[in-house]
Structure 1
Amino acid sequence: MDSAVQRQYVEFGVDNEHYAIPISDVHEIIRMQEITDIPNGRHYVKGIINLRGRIVPVLSLRVLLAMDEVSSTKHTRILVVHHLEEAIGVIVDKVNKVTTFNDIQPAPDSIAGISGSFFNGVGFSSSELVGILKLDEILLRN
């Protein structure tokens, strides 16, 4: 995975796990805000927000990764990402930092109970392992 080495990533936390996505996929990071419910929406769709006049659907990464939902905290953020020519908000527990990885290994068959097909690989960040998510794979699976 040499091509992914030295690219910048946004590292974030969900539950006690560390994940990252390429910074090029992130449009912006915003604080949690009021989300308008959508009737009869899928269980992982929390609703929509108005982002400077643009309607953006918001999804729960916890639900997409089959984790229990928790209440928002002061650290909860919405990553507004590019997906299929659209902006989509993805709720994460906290954003840690922008980082690069000197070593990225192929993803195993499963990481923390989540299918390895959802990962581009595993990066080594200081003393922690960080799962590099294939956001398209996660968002398209449902």
Structure 2
Amino acid sequence: MAVGQEEQLVVFQLNDQQYALPINETQEIIRMAEVTRLPNTDYYIEGIINLRGNILPVISLNRRLGLPETEQSEDTRIIVVENKGNKVGMIVDSVLEVGRYTDSEVEPPNMIGDNVDFLKGVVKKGDQLWLLVNLDTVL
């Protein structure tokens, strides 16, 4: 990113915390769909969905990040991302906005904890903190 250049993020909610993904890693955002469960898969894999004729694996981002699971609601969304050529759907509690940020608003993820490798950094937006998800380690 060029210095001072603004980038866009998709900001979403998991439990009571706001997370964010760079918009260029995000393919689309869809409403919660009927998920077909698969046997013998990782604990965080919800199953698969049929997205316009394409079979797409779907993960629970809450489960993947070790967060409490929330009841699905009208606001539940699937964020479709592409990482290393693979498309994956991630279930989130809700999508809030497309936000903008600059390099100067990002802090490195030097927090103490096990899940620090799931984060690329923390965006400070006024009094809000957006945790930047690192798709390389999440998927």
| TM > 0.5 fold call | yes
In the alignment, the residues of structure 2 paired with residue 45 and residue 70 of structure 1 have an alpha-carbon distance, to the nearest angstrom, of 15
How far residue 116 of structure 1 moved from its aligned partner, in angstroms, is 2.3
Two-structure CA RMSD over aligned residues (Å) = 1.8
Structure 1 segment 89-128 matched on structure 2, within 5 A? 89-102=89-102, 103-110=105-112, 115-128=115-128
How far residue 2 of structure 1 moved from its aligned partner, in angstroms, is 6.6
* 8 Å Cα contact 1:5-1:104 kept in structure 2: no
Q: Is 1:77 equivalent to 2:89 in the alignment?
A: no
Amino acid at match of 1:107: P
How far residue 59 of structure 1 moved from its aligned partner, in angstroms, is 0.1
TM-score by length of 1: 0.88
1:64–1:132 Cα change, 3 Å: same
For 2:138, the equivalent position in structure 1 comes to 138
How far residue 42 of structure 1 moved from its aligned partner, in angstroms, is 1.3
The unaligned stretches of length 5 or more in structure 2 are: none
In the alignment, the residues of structure 2 paired with residue 126 and residue 105 of structure 1 have an alpha-carbon distance, to the nearest angstrom, of 13
1:5–1:12 Cα change, 3 Å: farther
Q: Find the residue that maps to 2:30 and give its secondary structure.
A: strand
Any idea what the Cα deviations from partners look like across 1:63-91, whole Å, max 9, x if unmatched? 01111222210000000000220110000
In the alignment, the residues of structure 2 paired with residue 35 and residue 124 of structure 1 have an alpha-carbon distance, to the nearest angstrom, of 35
For 2:29, the equivalent position in structure 1 comes to 29
In the alignment, the residues of structure 2 paired with residue 64 and residue 90 of structure 1 have an alpha-carbon distance, to the nearest angstrom, of 10
How many residue pairs are counted as aligned between the two chains? 137
Q: Find the residue that maps to 1:115 and give its secondary structure.
A: helix
How far residue 127 of structure 1 moved from its aligned partner, in angstroms, is 2.2
How far residue 100 of structure 1 moved from its aligned partner, in angstroms, is 1.0
1:16–1:87 Cα change, 3 Å: same
* 8 Å Cα contact 2:70-2:93 kept in structure 1: no
